[in-house]
Amino acid sequence: MWLQSAPNQALFRGSSSTFYPIRSPRLFSTGRLPSDTDQTEAEDAEGGDDGEFWDREVDDVSNLYETILAEIVDDGRVGIITINRPEVLNALSTQVMDELADVLQELDADPRVKAIILTGSGKKAFAAGADIKEMRDQEFVTAYLGRLLSGYERATSECRTPIIAAVNGYALGGGCELAMMCDIILAGENAVFGQPETNLGVIPGMGGTQRLIRAVGKSRAMEMILSGAHFIDAEEAVSRGLASRVITGGPEKLIEAAIDLAKQIARLSGPVVAMAKEAVNSANDLGLSEGVKKENLFFSACFGLYDQKEGMSAFLEKRKARFENR
């Protein structure tokens, strides 16, 4: 688990893009998680959001992962997961998928983390698909009974925290599927989405046949999957609704935009955002009337929250809401 002891390699991306050692909120010497109120008071006392809050007495944390980097930014509210195999265009090996599933579970379980960003390292790829070298010698029985590369499906479907894919470069095969399993896709100007599996004698294996058709329509999805070609660039991805925005200016700008978006989500009430996410995702799983019923139930549930009273009172009193995630 990444929030436990070992030589410190994990990184903390400060507001100025400097890297600092992670100061894990789980390891506060008080043995409890600080609430947002604690944090705001601490920030106020220390003159703002400059990271000093995290310099209180805590243990350093390590990153036990070998194929991904895990970072915490925005004072613990935003997690960034970077697939870190640039030499093979971030190909998704079993180890990558296991580590992704594991860190995602960790971040989702951390009550301070309100949004998660998933990206790939280097300038060329988000992920160029499952690791072909690793897959080549698989047999049917080992792939089927071993649930080859299937851990992430569970990890994302059970994740209540919003996940933003920052897609820089190739998102092919499993990489495209991985991006589509996230809640929002931001496309760097060089993003390329495609499902070239048929070229390799296989078909998409992580939801591509189901999610691509919903994202780009049957004809375009069929064209891509059956031909293994005719990839989608960033502009087309946005025009078809596969991605929400194109971010120009390179990988740094893309990450900045993803962090800005994550921060906007993170300042809201955690349970409200989680219910909104689940309600929207239900549209893919349920029929219209069942989906609307579920939405209505969640909507009603919001009125049991302190944050609903706070949000509406703040609006009427013309002040900023201070949500407490309850």
Query: For this structure, is 174 an active site residue?
Result: yes
Residue among 99, 197, 295, 307 that touches ligand CO8 (CB under 6 A): 197
Structure tokens at 28: 């506060």
Neighbours of 263 (CB within 10 A): 16
Site string for ligand CO8, 130-149 (x = CB under 6 A): xxxx---------------x
Of residues 83-122, those binding ligand CO8 (CB under 6 A): 88-89, 91-92, 97
Alpha-carbon dihedral 278, 283, 287, 291, rounded to 10 degrees? 40
| Closer of 169 and 270 to ligand CO8 (Cβ) | 169
Q: Which residues contact 219 (CB under 8 A, 6 or more apart)?
A: none
Tokens of 280: 């929207």
Q: Does 128 bind ligand CO8 (CB under 6 A)?
A: yes
Known catalytic residue at 197: yes
Concerning whether 130 is annotated as a catalytic residue, the answer is: yes
For position 170 contacting ligand CO8 by CB under 6 A, the verdict is yes
Closest CA to 117 of 153, 74, 85, 177: 74
Task: Determine if 172 is a binding residue for ligand CO8 (CB under 6 A).
Answer: yes
| Cβ proximity of 279 and 285 under 8 Å | no
Q: CB-wise, 116 or 257, nearer to ligand CO8?
A: 116
Catalytic residue, from 115, 130, 237, 243: name it. Answer: 130
Smallest distance from ligand CO8 to CB 96, Å: 8
- Site residues for ligand CO8, window 58-77 (CB under 6 A)? none
Burial of 140 (0-12, 13-18, 19+ CB in 10 A): exposed
Q: How far apart are CA 74 and CA 49, in angstroms?
A: 8
Site for ligand CO8, rule CB under 6 A: 88-89, 91-92, 97, 128-133, 149, 170, 172-174, 177, 196-197, 200, 202, 204-206
Residues labelled as active-site residues = 130, 174, 177, 197
